Amino acid sequence: MIGILALQGDVREHELMLEGLGVSTRQVRKVDELDGLDGLVIPGGESTTIGRLATLYGLMEPLREAIAGGLPTYGTCAGLILLADRLAEGTQPLLGVLDVVVRRNAFGNQNDSFEADLPIHGMIDPFHAVFIRAPWIDSVGDSVEVLASWEGHPIMVRQGHILASAFHPELTKDQRVHHLFVTMTKEI
């Protein structure tokens, strides 16, 4: 069972992608809904809103503990921001479990959103990625593997049981990134 943090953002799109892979999902809005999960997805959306709501509902510390304790987790766009250890600028609630420095809206505003065919380490064919007000990663820690970059900036990384991307694979028909994450949940 993979949980999807369901406070705001692309919750349904991740559900459909995972269910298409034969994986059961559960929306997570309360602390007890973290129990018994094999993995967790933190969707794209508005990172400050998701962070504020997670704080309001008392989810930040339980999320931090579960992820730090080994719960496989995948964050897309806003999820990448929330997982980060630090922001390049500004402040907002962060889980601080991924050793990266993230720059919010690094590629520009809504009008600067774009799609691109992206080479991803371990995938033979490029992945058609959707970037919406996307962040990029300014720097990564020693234990972080960069799986994809765009214009010289890391935009997909893995650190052990944590996977994160600046783009939205849930907005495509390509299941390969979600399949990679599902595979990670079976490694525990």
- Residues known to be catalytic: 77, 168, 170
Q: Could you tell me the CA-to-CA distances from 116 to 87, 99, 101, 141 in Å, in that order?
A: 25, 26, 23, 26
Buried b vs exposed e over 127-161: b needs ≥16 C-beta within 10 Å?
Answer: bebbbbbbbbbbebeeebeebbbbeebbbbbbbeb
d(CA 21, CA 3): 14
Beta strands in 73-183, from DSSP E residues, in sequence order: 73-76, 84-87, 98-103, 114-118, 127-131, 136-140, 145-150, 153-159, 162-165
